[in-house]
Amino acid sequence: MSAELAAETEEAELERVLQAAADVAPALAETTPAERAGWLTAAADALDAAADELVALAAEETHLPAAPRLRGELKRTTFQLRLFGQVLTDGAFLRATVDHADPEWPMGPRPDIRRVLVPIGPVLVFAASNFPFAFSTAGGDTASALAAGCPVVLKAHPGHPRLTDQTGRVLLAALLAAGAPEGVFAVVHGRETGVTALKDPRISAASFTGSVPGGRALFDIANARPVPIPFYGELGSVNPVVVTPGAVKARGEEIAKGYAGSFTLGAGQFCTKPGLVFLPAEHGLDNALKSAVDGVAAQEMLNDRIAGGYSEGVAALRSTEGVEVVAAPENAGSGFAPTLLSTTAENFAKGSEVLRHECFGPASLVITYSSQEELIGLLNGLEPGLTATLHAEESEVDDVRPLLAPLARIAGRVLYNDWPTGVTVSWAQQHGGPYPATTAPTTTSVGTAAIDRFLRPVAWQGFPDALLPPALREDNPWQLPRRTDGSPQIL
């Protein structure tokens, strides 16, 4: 199961990569949104053309199935590259705002002042283990940083080094062929290499998807620099699900099947896996839950380290006082079978902290509650995460409404009668949440708004039109939607 480790990037090569990113950053910031849209489309086309080779490599290194999982993930990766091309074409992401000089302004005479977002500079992206395409080399962080006009230094994940290098070669060749300058993208390997790069003053922002300990350590490094930088870390999440009595009565067996399918999807190695499910006491779904979980085949995990962590996590959960096993099929070969456990609200409230933290892998915990008041108390005590889900009936609207504020408080995305795994890439998507779900709760790492992480605002006051950035000139040469003197200007 162990992945082949790549050699640590040599110091001289890292220096070359960092300097190249710093050198190209000003020129990259001067490129037009239309130019960058062309680069991203070319990159998507090249990755699609290399799909057979890349999917085979990914399957070998990660043990994930080639179809439909990896082919679907690569399709998602190229889709989001093209979607960011649409973001660039639309132009609203720049938030161009023009306030003309106004001698009658109520606060006193107002100067001509114009505001626009600009690229933040070279970005260090730490690739994720569990999504070797969509959150890795050419994934969402890379796509959104390139779209913003930032050079990217990609720190490879040790779980799929050969895939990372090959994807990086395909991506870079496509970018350069489409007109992007040298230094726009590079791959580096090694834990110490990543730390060194994060500390380097030429890096202006960083992103990360992974564990709480690893992400927090990097976050602290980013903030301890002489000049701190934004660090966009996606860390841990238990993603609670609440099921109401009405939902159990109306479609309990369906919910049991959906729950089992969600928490075991991809061997439970999704950041949005539902780790806690709150069911009403006397729900009567034990048999349905056991049957659904028993029907899930054992699956291989990404690597030995993750498999070891999962085994330790399940052992800790099973040994916690008051926790009972609902279903735990026998492991088969090198695969890992899912584990479903249960406890009461009382035991959960007074129990070990292990019950409240993410167990990365195909394990989940049912908590039974006796009243709405008890349920709200449990929700108020939960650690925030990426998602919170509610399964209810329309006839329960008055009973459900008090649950909405607690659910929204602990999550960046709240779902109704759905399951949190399967995060679509769209304009309205929010993939983030309060710490420890992320280190930057006002941002998202999925969807078009992810570009905001790698932009910063600059206001230009009193400048003649000829010296203004194109996005702010009076004739609006890029034909951007802008706010002018307080009024939206939609083209």
Active site residue 359: no
* Predicted pLDDT of residue 3: 47
**What is the predicted pLDDT for the residue at 6?**
75
Q: Is 15 a catalytic residue?
A: no
- Sorted by where each begins, the domain ranges of the chain are 11-235+439-489, 240-416
Compute, in degrees rounded to 10, the torsion defined by CA atoms 263, 266, 272, 275: 30
pTM for the complete prediction? 0.95
Q: Which of 61, 73, 150, 234 is catalytic?
A: 234
Which parts of the chain have pLDDT scores under 50?
A: 1-3
Any idea how long the chain is? Answer: 491
> For residues 409 and 402, what is the distance between their CA atoms, to the nearest angstrom?
12
CATH match of 240-416 with 3.40.309.10: yes
- Cα torsion for 325, 330, 336, 341, to the nearest 10°? -10
Answer whether 11-235+439-489 and 240-416 agree in fold: no
Q: For residue 275, how many C-alpha atoms fall within 13 Å in the half-sphere facing its CB?
A: 26
Q: Write down the H helix ranges in 30-160.
A: 33-49, 51-62, 71-90, 140-148
Bridge partners, residue 243, by sequence: 391
| Cis status, amide bond into 436, omega within 30 of 0 | yes
What pLDDT score does 330 carry?
Answer: 82
- The CATH fold assigned to 11-235+439-489 is Aldehyde Dehydrogenase; Chain A, domain 1 (3.40.605)
| Catalytic annotation, pick one of 271, 321, 330, 374 | 271
